[in-house]
């Protein structure tokens, strides 16, 4: 830092300014000083000062420019009080005496003059200009102050060149925490960033998101507004109005009145006033004149307890005032110390030059006039210390003790005696950064940014008639940042003592997203999130889609897991279907046994003979394929169930078609086309026809499985709350279409034999069976169009089962009935008689 060109250039400019601002005399003495082994400087605003145009550059004379600043006077005495206690301590700096030099920094020029004064080496007037300040030893080893952020930004920039420790007790500007720019700056008051975080938490606590923000026209106010904007934007809090209080004093100014008028016209009920105490005083004087009665005013630590604000006539009518203040602290003995060391009739406590100093020695030249003089009647004009003064005084008190603890460590006082070596500011700075001690039940230490690890007290104004007081209603604590507040301790100036509402729009109901209206995101309409989406609390303006396996109703804030469904084995409908399938299998098996036992009989021969076993076997295979529709679908089950059924059913239909064709050939085609019939018999026409039909169906199934295999898949489209687990039988229509064509062919061949002998006429039975097949197929297609749930598998099983049962009942059941119960019809004589009757009838025709 010390070798960087910008800092050196800045230093040269300041050195030139120092020469320009020198008083006519050459005395650089402070307003109040006390000698010691090591000197600590203190900057305090002892007087109020109003800047006026000056004909030439000169340092402002503070004692003749304004009234006494009681607050600065009490802080000034707090530093003297701390130094006295340190010097009287037997454990802290035991054989070292601390001295001090106090300056009244009532203006920017006075602050700059004081800064340059403490940098001069002991016994010298000018500040040496060097390229390396490592061995530079100014008259003061550390500085406590100044009070305002505006003055501190200048002082901290200069002192950073020398790495001189500076501990401010009231400068809270966030920029001062930047160690790259202000490496030697520390403070005992939290930064404005922390104050803003506390204010935003307070807004969130009461649901206020439509507010106004005003600030003073200085570094404190403008940076505070900027930080507020940044933090509020992250928490959906909007500023309906933002204004800067004019720097020029006086409530009659039209500009300030217009600002208050516009603010009140926004209709907001909560206003944050981020201002110094004097600008706040001007602002609230105009607010009081506007007859405001029911608003909420949130204050910063700079004015929330300041008497210049709460002392404004009629301010008790403006509404509720809640503010932040430095942590409540007691400083026993300070008032007694001021009483004993603050009046002119006590020489040892004189507060002006020329006068005896605190050591009892007198100035030798009473004609010298300091550039920054303190009036001799400060103690008479200063008011009694208020809570604000005492709590702020503790920041000065702890800053002085932090310097003392740093010196204690640097001088090696831990063994009982200090070395009293030369102290360079940069050495002391490293020690102060690491101090950690307890003081009046408070812990004093600094973080990496030089900020204290303390928070704020939350206070609320209260009035008893014209008497002002306040209550501590909570606190803001750090690490982690949190707000603790007692709501019942707040008296709201609203009907029924209800918490005032300050929102642009009412909060949306659960599951409703915000639709921004206008420029501010706090003004919005509400719309329910559609089904399948939910409203995440991290984004109130967009509905988030649920996961694939999840669902959500309209206006939901969470997603629910979908229920996976399939036709399980243990459902009642499954039991009924399984029982029917098993019964049909037993009937088919029993029929096969019955036909085997009666294979030589005419009924079995007329039904197809040995081909009946092929038909019954394929029907059994088709029935067994229906078991694959139950339970959770697996890849083997999906791949096998439809091809097995289709091929089996094709074999059965081709056998029926062949048998019907053979009967027609025997009775009708053999005499008309004997060559065709001969070829049909010689070349095993029935076997070739069955093989060709089966091969065609096999090829259709193989092509379908290769192009679009049937595998388990999850259906998310049928129902929002369910996942239907089923097989993807997208190409099954080709096999069904082929069986339908084969059924029509079979029906036509059977119809051709409608006039054959009764024992050989299968037209009625086959027609009945095929009609059942067509009806089942049509019903299945109609159901498939309108329903895609888990019971579609059960409907498929029922359709196929009815088709198989119809085929069995129409073709095999009558023949089994004849074998079992009409044995007289199962004879060769009966069949021959039937043929003779058919022949006679045909000849007569």
More confidently predicted of 767 and 227 = 227
Residue 522 pLDDT > 90: no
Does residue 149 contact residue 176 with C-beta atoms inside 8 Å?
Answer: yes
Q: How far apart are CA 140 and CA 143, in angstroms?
A: 7
* Closest to 636 measured CA to CA, from 724, 711, 702: 711
192-329+455-497 and 5-49+60-191+346-445 share a CATH fold:
yes
Q: Do residues 625 and 645 make contact, with C-beta atoms less than 8 angstroms apart?
A: yes
Could you tell me the CA-to-CA distances from 372 to 21, 59, 143, 425 in Å, in that order?
Answer: 12, 8, 17, 25
Q: Say how far apart CA 660 and CA 266 lie, in whole Å.
A: 95
| 353 closest CA partner among 60, 63, 21, 37 | 63
What does the alpha-carbon distance between residue 711 and residue 696 come to, in Å, rounded to a whole number? 23
Distances (CA, A) of 518 to 156, 229, 504, 523, 541: 44, 18, 11, 7, 14
CA angle 362, 364, 369 (to 5 degrees): 95
CATH number for region 572-844:
1.20.1070.10
SS (H, E, C) 494-518: CHHHCCCCCCCCCCCCCCEEEEECC
The stretch 171-180 carries a mean pLDDT of 90
338-342, 696-700, 804-808: segment of lowest average pLDDT: 338-342
Give the DSSP per-residue string, 289-301. Answer: HTT--SEEEEE-T
pLDDT, residue 427, reads: 94
Q: 512-516 and 524-528: which strand pairing?
A: antiparallel
What pLDDT sits at residue 33?
Answer: 87
Extract the tokens encoding 793: 């598998």
The CB density around residue 692, as the number of other CB atoms within 10 Å, is 11
Closest-CA residue to 99 (of 335, 355, 357): 357
Cβ distance 613 to 596 under 8 Å? yes
Instruction: Please count the residues of the chain.
Output: 845
Dist. CA 760–CA 599, nearest whole Å: 17
Can you tell me the distance from the alpha carbon of 272 to that of 519, in angstroms, rounded to the nearest whole number?
21
pLDDT band at 433 (very low <50, low <70, confident <90, very high): very high
- Strand, helix or coil at 786? helix
| 137 HSE (CA, 13 A, CB side) | 9
pLDDT of 196 higher than 90: yes
Q: Does residue 416 sit in helix, strand or coil? A: coil
> Which range in 11-15, 56-60, 555-559, 673-677 is most confidently predicted, on average pLDDT?
555-559
Could you count the other beta carbons within 10 Å of the beta carbon of residue 541? 12
- Residue with more model confidence, 785 or 680: 785
Cβ-Cβ contacts under 8 Å for 69 (sequence gap 6 or more): 45, 46, 47, 48, 106
Residue 372: how many CB atoms within 10 A of its CB? 28
**Domain spanning 5-49+60-191+346-445: CATH 1.10.3720.10:** no
Tokens encoding 379: 């103690």
pLDDT(143) > 90? yes
Distance of alpha carbon 641 from alpha carbon 222, whole angstroms: 78
DSSP codes, 113-130? HHHHHHHSBTT-SSPP--
Mean pLDDT of 398-422: 91
Beta-carbon-side half-sphere exposure of residue 603 (alpha carbons within 13 Å):
23
What is the spatial distance between Cα 184 and Cα 576, in angstroms, rounded to a whole number? 89
DSSP secondary structure code for residue 247 in this structure: S
Give the long-range contacts of residues 177-184, CB within 8 A, separation 24 or more.
177/449, 177/450, 177/451, 178/449, 179/448, 179/449, 179/450, 181/157, 182/156, 182/157, 183/1, 184/156, 184/159, 184/160, 184/425, 184/426, 184/429
CB neighbour class for 513 (10 Å; exposed up to 12, middle 13-18, buried from 19): buried
pLDDT at residue number 839: 57
Count of beta carbons in the 10 Å neighbourhood of residue 765: 19
CB 458 within 8 A of CB 485: yes
Binning pLDDT at 50, 70 and 90, where does residue 784 land?
Answer: confident
Question: What's the pLDDT band for 733 if we cut at 50, 70, 90?
Answer: low
- By the 8 A CB rule, do 498 and 527 touch? no
Provide mean pLDDT across the span 724-736.
73
pLDDT at 77: 92
Helix, strand, coil share (%) of the chain residues, nearest 5: 45, 15, 35
**What average pLDDT does range 743-761 have in this prediction?**
65
Q: Which residue has the higher pLDDT, 781 or 90?
A: 90
Question: Could you give the residue ranges of the DSSP H alpha helices within 217-275?
Answer: 219-233, 254-265
The answer to whether 385 and 74 are in contact (CB under 8 A) is yes
CA dihedral (106, 281, 464, 332) in degrees, to 10, reads: -20
Q: Which residue has the higher pLDDT, 623 or 709?
A: 623
Answer whether residue 819 shows pLDDT above 80.
yes
A 10 A CB-CB count for 769 gives: 27
pLDDT tens for each residue of 37-62: 999 999 998 887 666 656 677 777 77
Q: What is the structure's pLDDT at 366? A: 31
Answer yes or no: is pLDDT of 475 > 70: yes
- The average pLDDT across 476-496 equals 85
pLDDT of residue 63: 65
**pLDDT mean across residues, the chain:** 81
Two structure tokens written together for 622: 């088709």
Give the list of residues 6+ apart from residue 16 with CB closer than 8 angstroms, or none. none
For the record, the structure tokens of 775 come out as 């009806």
How are beta strands 442-445 and 436-439 bridged, if at all? antiparallel
Q: CA separation (Å) from 600 to 22, 592, 831? A: 141, 14, 14
pLDDT of 9: 41
In sequence order, what are the beta bridge partners of 325? 457
- Residue 382: the pLDDT is 57
Could you tell me how far CA 360 lies from the centroid of its own chain? Answer: 65
Least confident range from 1-15, 111-125, 784-798: namely 1-15
Global pTM reads 0.61
Q: Is the pLDDT of residue 233 over 90?
A: no
* Residue 352 confidence class, pLDDT cut points 50, 70, 90: very low
The 10 Å CB-count burial string (b at 16+, else e) for 294-330 is: ebbbbbbbbbbbbbbbbebeebbebbbbbbbbbbebe
Torsion 677-680-684-687 (CA) sign: negative
- Spatial separation of the C-alpha atoms in residues 97 and 407, rounded to whole Å: 11
Query: Higher model confidence: residue 618 or residue 840?
Result: 618
DSSP state for residue 745 in the 8-state scheme: H
* Separation of CA 585 from chain center: 63
Q: Which residues of 21-56 are buried (b: 16+ CB within 10 A; e: fewer)?
A: bbbeeeebbbbbbbebbbbbbbbbbbbbbeeeeeee
**Given a cut of 60, is residue 293 above it in pLDDT?**
yes
Could you identify the residue written with the tokens 């579609």?
Answer: 792
Residue-range domain boundaries for the chain: 5-49+60-191+346-445, 192-329+455-497, 512-561, 572-844
Q: What 3-state class would DSSP assign to 473?
A: strand
Confidence of residue 5 (pLDDT cuts 50, 70, 90): very low
- Which CATH number does 192-329+455-497 carry? 3.40.50.2300
């Amino acid at each position: 830092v010390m070798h960087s060109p910008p800092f050196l250039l800045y230093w040269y400019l300041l050195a030139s300014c120092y020469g320009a601002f020198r008083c006519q005399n050459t005395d650089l003495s402070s307003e109040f000083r006390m000698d010691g082994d090591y000197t600590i400087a203190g900057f305090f605003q002892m007087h109020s000062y109003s800047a006026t145009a000056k004909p030439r550059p000169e340092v402002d004379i503070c004692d003749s420019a304004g009234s006494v600043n009681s607050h600065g006077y009490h802080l000034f005495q707090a530093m003297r009080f701390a130094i006295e206690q340190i010097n009287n301590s037997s454990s802290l700096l035991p054989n070292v005496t601390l001295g001090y030099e106090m300056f009244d920094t009532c203006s920017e020029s006075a602050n700059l003059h004081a800064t340059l004064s403490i940098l001069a080496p002991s016994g010298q007037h000018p500040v040496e200009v060097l390229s390396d300040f490592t061995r530079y030893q100014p008259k003061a080893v550390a500085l406590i102050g100044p009070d305002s952020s505006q003055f501190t930004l200048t002082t901290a920039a200069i002192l950073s060149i020398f790495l001189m420790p500076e501990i401010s007790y009231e400068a809270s500007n966030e920029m001062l925490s930047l160690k790259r720019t202000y490496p030697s700056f520390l403070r005992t008051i939290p930064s404005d960033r922390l104050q803003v975080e506390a204010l935003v938490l307070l807004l969130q606590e009461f649901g206020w998101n439509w507010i106004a923000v005003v600030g003073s026209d200085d570094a404190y106010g403008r940076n505070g507004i900027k930080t507020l904007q940044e933090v509020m934007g992250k928490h959906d809090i909007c500023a309906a109005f933002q204004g800067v209080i004019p720097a020029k004093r006086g409530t009659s100014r039209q500009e300030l009145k217009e600002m208050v008028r516009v603010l009140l016209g926004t209709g907001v009920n909560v206003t944050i006033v981020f201002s110094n105490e004097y600008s706040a005083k001007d602002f609230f004087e105009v607010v009081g004149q506007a007859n405001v009665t029911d608003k909420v005013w949130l204050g910063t630590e700079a004015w929330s307890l300041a008497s210049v604000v709460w002392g404004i006539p009629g301010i008790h009518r403006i509404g509720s005032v809640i503010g932040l203040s430095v942590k409540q602290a007691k400083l026993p003995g300070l008032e007694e110390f001021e009483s004993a060391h603050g009046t002119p009739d006590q020489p040892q406590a004189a507060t002006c030059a020329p006068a005896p100093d605190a050591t009892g020695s007198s100035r030798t030249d009473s004609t010298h006039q300091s550039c920054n003089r303190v009036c001799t009647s400060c103690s008479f004009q200063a008011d009694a210390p208020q809570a604000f003064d005492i709590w702020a005084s503790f920041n000065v008190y702890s800053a002085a003790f932090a310097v003392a603890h740093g010196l204690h460590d640097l001088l090696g006082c831990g063994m009982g005696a200090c070395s009293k070596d030369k102290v360079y500011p940069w050495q002391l700075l490293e020690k102060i950064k690491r101090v950690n001690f307890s003081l009046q039940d408070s812990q004093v230490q600094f973080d990496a940014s030089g900020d204290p690890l303390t928070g704020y007290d939350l206070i609320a104004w209260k009035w008893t008639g014209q008497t002002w007081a306040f209550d501590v209603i909570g606190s803001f604590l750090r690490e982690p940042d949190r707000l603790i507040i007692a709501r019942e301790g707040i008296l709201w100036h609203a009907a029924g003592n209800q918490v005032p509402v300050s929102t642009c729009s009412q909060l949306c109901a659960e599951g409703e997203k915000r639709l921004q209206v206008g420029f501010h995101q706090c003004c919005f309409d509400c719309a329910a999130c559609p089904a399948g989406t939910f409203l995440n609390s991290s984004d109130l303006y967009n509905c988030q889609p649920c996961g694939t396996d999840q669902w959500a109703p309209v206006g939901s804030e969470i997603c629910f897991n979908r229920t996976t469904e399939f036709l399980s084995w243990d459902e009642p409908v499954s039991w009924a279907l399984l029982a029917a399938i098993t019964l049909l299998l037993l009937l088919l098996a029993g029929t096969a046994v019955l036909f085997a036992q009666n294979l030589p009989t005419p009924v079995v021969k007329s039904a197809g003979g040995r081909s009946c076993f092929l038909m019954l076997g394929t029907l059994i295979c088709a029935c067994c394929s229906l078991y694959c529709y139950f339970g959770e679908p697996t890849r083997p089950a999906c791949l096998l169930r439809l091809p097995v059924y289709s091929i089996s059913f094709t074999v059965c239909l081709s056998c029926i078609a062949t048998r019907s064709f053979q009967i027609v050939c025997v009775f009708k085609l053999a005499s008309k086309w004997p060559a065709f019939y001969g070829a049909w018999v010689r070349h095993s026409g029935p076997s070739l026809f069955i093989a060709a039909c089966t091969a065609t169906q096999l090829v259709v199934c193989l092509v379908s499985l290769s192009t679009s295999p049937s595998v388990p898949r999850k259906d998310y489209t049928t129902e929002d709350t369910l996942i239907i687990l089923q097989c993807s039988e997208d190409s099954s229509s080709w096999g069904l279409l082929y069986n339908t064509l084969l059924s029509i062919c079979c029906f036509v061949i059977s119809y051709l034999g409608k006039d054959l002998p009764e024992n050989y006429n299968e037209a009625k039975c086959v027609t009945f069976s095929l009609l059942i097949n067509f009806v089942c197929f049509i019903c299945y297609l109609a159901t498939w169009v309108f329903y895609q749930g888990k019971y579609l598998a059960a409907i498929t099983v029922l359709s196929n089962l009815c088709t198989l049962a119809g085929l069995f009942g129409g073709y095999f059941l009558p023949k089994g009935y004849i074998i079992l119960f009409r044995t007289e019809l199962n004879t060769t004589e009966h069949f021959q008689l039937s043929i003779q009757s058919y022949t006679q009838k045909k000849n007569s025709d």
